[in-house]
Structure 1
Amino acid sequence: MLSLAAIRAARDRIADVARVTPVRYSHTFSERTGASVHLKLENVQRTGAFKIRGALNRIATLSDAEQAAGVVTASAGNHAQGVALAATRAGVDATIVMPEHAPISKVKATRGYGARVVLDGVDYAEAQARAHEIEREEGRTYVHAFDDEMVMAGQGTIGLEILEQQPDVETVVVPIGGGGLISGIATAITSQQPDVRIIGVQAEGASSVIDSLEAGEIRSRDSVDTVADGIATRSVGEQPFEIITERVDEVVTVSDEEIALALTLLLERSKTVVEGAGAVALSALLEGRFDYEEGEVIVPALCGGNIDMNVLTTVILRGMIQMGRYLKIRTVLPDRPGALESLIEIIADKGANIYEIHHERTSREVGMSDTSVELELETHGPDHAADLLATLRDAGYTVDVRK
């Protein structure tokens, strides 16, 4: 099983490339939760995520023959970039299989780091199957994203840093996909300070660890569906599951809407850009998914910042909806001059800002003399949105809130 000695050895191997990322106190999230919140900013790591740590350590421990034959792996994006950069720096040829619908930004970045990219499969599991075919066909070494002791040891260097940077830490919150990250961090921390709690967080649409812990054995999901593509795996790894069972205190889940809210708050209040997987640890804290004491020192690990710009736009919108800052409504107006102006006057008087207006005169849902109007509005928060809706309805408008 993974040891503290292996993690310390990994730190020496990767020190020239991997950054020691900061731990930053957050006034915003401390006030919001009542805890003392310190964010581990792994989103500013080389390649934008923690995966470079494990990839560097694994490739550094390959034999000369394995390096000459090259490596292959499968990844939704962050592991791909880590392996690509680590292999290029070591002079090792790398082939990366990514799902067909992997974020464009991650595909381009992986190619930019020097790897050959093969797009295959609808998700990580199918991409992994193709990568193993290439492993057999070309004699390459497969670099597993999480179920590998040297990879887990590399990820565990984050745990060493957390204890050194925040020695009074009481709880560390870590995202879980396949389990390599939390296995490394939990081993590094609990081997030295066994009283520190380790909380794992999964997306609801990819909760294989929860299912496995309940069953007492590894269970795989038929499919995964989450905005947190970096942790969208159908199953936890065998080695990580053993460590999680022994060293992790609790595993919880968060929804995509809750992930979107945490991501948006990080962007707006902390000026910190993370991807969906990078927001889940903070999301679990904000949503109260686990118990903690007032003032407890908690370190959520923000594991990555590689979010596609199109996805970011969608997630921000979802986050604004969660905060009550965005409202889409539909109503029916008589199709005559001044009707729309009267509606807009009420909205303006209530201090809401109009993003867009859509007129639909040909809808079968309205009468021949009416028009359907859909408005996208910026509001100040849930109370403001509720007040606006009440005012419109009091004025005689039938208003439907659109999702």
Structure 2
Amino acid sequence: MDQPLPPIPTLDDIRDAAKLIAGEVLRTPILPAPRLSKLTGAHIAVKYENLQVTASFKERGALVKLLSLDAAERRAGVVAMSAGNHAQAVAYHAARLGIPATIVMPKTTPFVKVEATRSFGARVLVEGDTLVECHAIASGIADTTGAVWVHPYDDPHVIRGQGTIALEMLEDGPPLDVLLVPIGGGGLISGIAIATRALSPDTEIIGVETELYPSMRAALDGTEARCGGNTLAEGIAVKEVGRLTREIVRTHVDDVVLVPESAIERAVNAYLTLQKTMAEGAGAAGLAALLADPDRFAGRSVGLVLCGGNIDPRLAASIMVRELARSEHIVGVRIVIPDRPGVLGDIAATIGAKGGNILEVLHHRTLLSVPAKGASVDVTIETHGHDHAAEIVAALEERGYAVRRLDGPEA
């Protein structure tokens, strides 16, 4: 039988949490984002929680929870399970407060998050294939050692800590028509929704989940969530939302929308290239909702919570290159050529004459699709965009070459 739900935090609880963490957690800026506004058609202000020491909002709730422990509980230590950001937050603040911490992380956790958690001084166990399995392992440790369980989202102290973000946004930022908040287990949006409903009741509060993990949307609809798949937003890839958070979201949140992986990828790239700031997939989910459905938010004042910036640098680089390919600033072509001297030079000269920059060349002679006395060349070219790419392809075709695009709209 389920235990009764603990009391839902109030605005006063969140204000008390803000006093507790003052000077210990950064009061992050909320700033207008003109380039994102131009991209989406909305008037955007971004709350930069990626500037926290652990690059995530999770520090707020973790610290409030740790400060609620009495002396005996602190001596017993704490245990948590997390795919990364909650883990780092608990590890960092537990070390600051002299509290022993054990963190259970799934095997799929990005390497950068595992190493960061270890660097903060916690004992890290990389076990279990899913967060559900990690939850069971962490619960077992708590039961056998007496360590205090620090839940990543379904805890009143954690929720009121996360709610301090809304206090700062509403005090420091412009009046907001809409708040777009990523949802994993629901702790972040629960705290934000409680504070926002009390202080700015006309502001629309919308949660954002990845289409691959629609757990909160399904919980609100009373349906079974069909979760799974390799998502860029692993920080919100949660199969089971909290009991307490579900009730808060049901009461205080206006809508929960689902966004495709392609929109999350575009949002991460937009933060990197337009705002010059790091956003992990979960952190970019709010912007992804704007990119996926710009008409819904056009002309409105929208607050985005960039809730985390812990992205693998290699993945961030890959996303930027993929976006260059998507916008046809990088294109790949395959050219079937006669196998004779001077042909490669002619191709390079033709591309160069049109202002294209050759990034890579791969020469094939053994493909069965190529005549025995011929060859094929794969050329990766940097261009100024769609029209420029088409101009280069046309110039090659005018020289008598058969050209096939390897990416973009014709691939």
1:336 is displaced (CA, Å) by: 1.9
Helix, strand or coil at the partner of 2:102: strand
Q: Is the 8 A contact 2:336 2:401 kept in 1?
A: no
1:123 is displaced (CA, Å) by: 3.2
1:139-150 pair list within 5 angstroms = 139-150=146-157
Match of 1:88 in 2: 95
Q: 1:277 to 1:386 in 2, by over 3 A?
A: farther
1:371 is displaced (CA, Å) by: 2.1
Distance in 2 between residues matched to 1:316 and 1:251, nearest whole Å? 28
Q: Is the 8 A contact 2:182 2:285 kept in 1?
A: yes
Match of 2:254 in 1: 249
**Which digits, 9 at most, give the CA deviation of each residue in 1:85-129, with x for residues without a partner?**
111112110011112232222111111111011111233233223
Match of 1:366 in 2: 370
The structure 2 residue matched to 1:104, chosen from 108, 111, 124, is: 111
Match of 1:23 in 2: 30
Distance in 2 between residues matched to 1:242 and 1:381, nearest whole Å? 48
**Which digits, 9 at most, give the CA deviation of each residue in 1:323-351, with x for residues without a partner?**
33222332322222222223223322332
The structure 1 residue matched to 2:47, chosen from 32, 40, 44, is: 40
Q: Is the 8 A contact 1:252 1:289 kept in 2?
A: no
Match of 1:314 in 2: 318
Distance in 2 between residues matched to 1:346 and 1:168, nearest whole Å? 54
Q: Is the 8 A contact 2:334 2:405 kept in 1?
A: yes
Helix, strand or coil at the partner of 2:296: coil
Match of 2:301 in 1: 297
The yes-or-no answer on 1:207 pairing with 2:214 is yes
**Which digits, 9 at most, give the CA deviation of each residue in 1:246-285, with x for residues without a partner?**
2111222222222222222222222112111111111211
Distance in 2 between residues matched to 1:207 and 1:64, nearest whole Å? 40
1:1-400 pair list within 5 angstroms = 1-214=8-221, 216=222, 219-288=224-293, 291-294=296-299, 296-393=300-397, 395-400=400-405
Match of 1:401 in 2: 406
1:232 is displaced (CA, Å) by: 1.6
Residue correspondences, number: 400
**Which digits, 9 at most, give the CA deviation of each residue in 1:1-58, with x for residues without a partner?**
2321221111111113111000111111222233221111111112111000010011
**Which digits, 9 at most, give the CA deviation of each residue in 1:362-381, with x for residues without a partner?**
23332322223222222222
Identity %: 43
TM-score between the two structures when normalised by the length of structure 1: 0.93
TM-score between the two structures when normalised by the length of structure 2: 0.91
Q: Is the 8 A contact 2:333 2:403 kept in 1?
A: no
Letter of the structure 1 residue corresponding to residue 287 of structure 2: L
Distance in 1 between residues matched to 2:138 and 2:394, nearest whole Å? 56
Q: Which range moves more in the overlay, 110-119 or 253-262?
A: 253-262
Q: 1:346 to 1:81 in 2, by over 3 A?
A: same
Q: 1:170 to 1:382 in 2, by over 3 A?
A: same
1:222 is displaced (CA, Å) by: 4.6
Distance in 2 between residues matched to 1:227 and 1:341, nearest whole Å? 41
Distance in 2 between residues matched to 1:277 and 1:87, nearest whole Å? 24
Q: Is the 8 A contact 1:186 1:247 kept in 2?
A: yes
Helix, strand or coil at the partner of 2:169: helix
Q: Which range moves more in the overlay, 368-377 or 187-196?
A: 368-377
Residue ranges of structure 2 left out of the alignment (5+ in a row): 1-7
Q: 1:196 to 1:116 in 2, by over 3 A?
A: same
Q: 1:400 to 1:293 in 2, by over 3 A?
A: closer
Helix, strand or coil at the partner of 1:276: coil
Residue ranges of structure 1 left out of the alignment (5+ in a row): none
Letter of the structure 1 residue corresponding to residue 259 of structure 2: V
1:288 is displaced (CA, Å) by: 2.2
Helix, strand or coil at the partner of 1:356: strand
Distance in 2 between residues matched to 1:398 and 1:182, nearest whole Å? 51
1:391 is displaced (CA, Å) by: 4.4
Letter of the structure 1 residue corresponding to residue 282 of structure 2: A
